[in-house]
Amino acid sequence: MTDLYIDADACPVKAEAERVATRHGVRMFVVSNGGIRPSANPLVESVFVADGPDVADMWIAERAGTGDVVVTGDIPLAAKCVAAGALVLRHNGEGLTAANIGNVLATRDLMADLRSADPFRQGGGKAFSKADRSRFLDALDLALRRAKALPGGRSAPT
């Protein structure tokens, strides 16, 4: 059966993911260190892991595989999930795949090096827009349909 894993800390699309998962009849795991209100939806399970670096990421990486979908902004977690065969989306709907994860990891590392070399560098990423949210909804719907249809995946009838 296809599962949807949400790396929930700082995730701006939890509610949207829940709507899409419910429409597809897919179990959704919302994984965080806490501070997130559990959903009353029977398809949504809140998983609260211990505080610590990457504990939520490890929980997801140990479980996600072929036929699953993972939503995360964490690039190292995305790389592990892609390697395990899961379909991975960023919050803006961008798909992370075996074909692009290497470049995304390299860019992440380069930007970390640039930030550490210039401690006065200010600013962050661009603001999350309505267009990002819309792209995410479309991408998640497509990813769930693909995951459920994967041969060797854990598909179930809808």
- State percent of the chain over pLDDT 90: 64
Q: What is the 3-state secondary structure (H, E, C) of 11-27?
A: CCCHHHHHHHHHHHCCE
CA 142 to chain centre: 14
pLDDT at 105: 74
More confident residue, 4 or 115: 4
Residue 156 lies in a domain: no
pLDDT of residue 128: 81
Residue 157 belongs to a domain: no
**What's the pLDDT tens digit per position in 122-134?**
656 678 889 999 9
Is pLDDT above 70 for 150?
yes
On the question of pLDDT at 20 being above 70, the answer is: yes
Distance between CA atoms of 48 and 96, rounded to whole angstroms?
25
Mean pLDDT of 126-152: 89
Report residue 113: phi and psi, to 5°: -65, -40
Count up the domains in the chain and report the number.
Answer: 1
Q: Domain containing 45: what range?
A: 3-149
Q: What is the CATH number of the domain that holds 25?
A: 3.40.50
